[in-house]
Chain A
Amino acid sequence: MNILVVDDSRIMRNIIKNTLENSRKYGKIRFFEAQDGVTAFREITDNNIDLLLLDWNMPRLNGLDLVKKLRRIEAFETLPIIMITSEAAKYNVIEALKAGVSDYVVKPVPEKKLLQKIERLVCAEVK
């Protein structure tokens, strides 16, 4: 499974990667990383990404605008995207879901909840 982790914090990217690796649930994972939406878009178009784990507040292109951009492209209309963000207000969750995220997780990352959401979104396809 190819997973792109997008966050402007390198430490957050490592936390998310470690959470997935330690779960030992998903077999062989190939991680890709990006620190902003512009780099993430390039990674998505250059690689066969199965799952996008995406922060909201980032420089250059934020996560919400990246989602809107991706959903306008046919090839990425159904790409599983989980937004992982500190933005905890209900209106933020609604805005992200309207933009096309598949699911939403509020930081600090609740490990169990994140793994459940990933499992629901992508594991059936991978198996």
Chain B
Amino acid sequence: MDKEYIMPFVEATEAVFMDFFNEKPELLNPYLIKRTETIDWDISGVIGIAGQTRGVVVISFSDSMACSLTSRLIGSSISEIDDDVVDTIGEVVNIIAGNAKKGFESYRLMISLPSIVKGNDHNIAWPGKNIPIIGIPFSIEEGEFILAVGLENIITNEIVN
């Protein structure tokens, strides 16, 4: 896999985690996500990308990790998903998508407002049948989380294979 195309997302993820949670996440091995795959996580932040291409950026966590990260950010303990957790995950994916645009300056891209999907093993309807979706897993103190990215005509099957 050509990592050049995922590095803007990796760098943006590292920046927001360093700033918000005071920890640099460790990048694990990126892989191609199967479109039929159920997301084995509890909460996802989703940003749509439009403009000169279209795509999606999704970050997914377990309940406990989302609560733990929010607790780190606001400085008080949270044990279940609440408005603060939703706000935190939304802002994290917003910053990752907005920052990553810097890596694709030759395309004029617009990002949507973040949406949050909750619930065990939820599904994401990935856009466009031919857009490969790259899973970029990271590890932090609490365990692993995943960033999933698809960008039509930018991240292509040739890059992935």
Contact flags A46-73 to B (C-beta < 8 A → 1, else 0):
0000000000011100000000000000
A91 to B91: give the CA distance in the assembly, Å. 22
Chain B residues within 8 Å of chain A by Cβ, number: 29
Say whether B102 contacts A11, CB under 8 Å.
Answer: no
Q: Which of A8, A57, A89 contacts B109 (CB 8 A)?
A: A89
B108 proximity list for chain A (CB < 8 A): 91
Task: Give the interface segment out of A80-88, A97-105, A117-125.
Answer: A80-88
Name the interface residues of B71-98: CB closer than 8 Å to any CB of A. Answer: 73-74, 83-84, 87-88, 90-91, 94-98
B117 proximity list for chain A (CB < 8 A): none
Does B4 interact with chain A (Cβ within 8 Å)?
A: no
B19 proximity list for chain A (CB < 8 A): 108-109
Chain A residues within 8 Å of chain B by Cβ, number: 21
Say whether B15 contacts A11, CB under 8 Å.
Answer: no
Interface residues of chain B, those whose CB is within 8 Å of chain A, are 15-16, 18-20, 73-74, 83-84, 87-88, 90-91, 94-102, 104-105, 108-109, 111-113
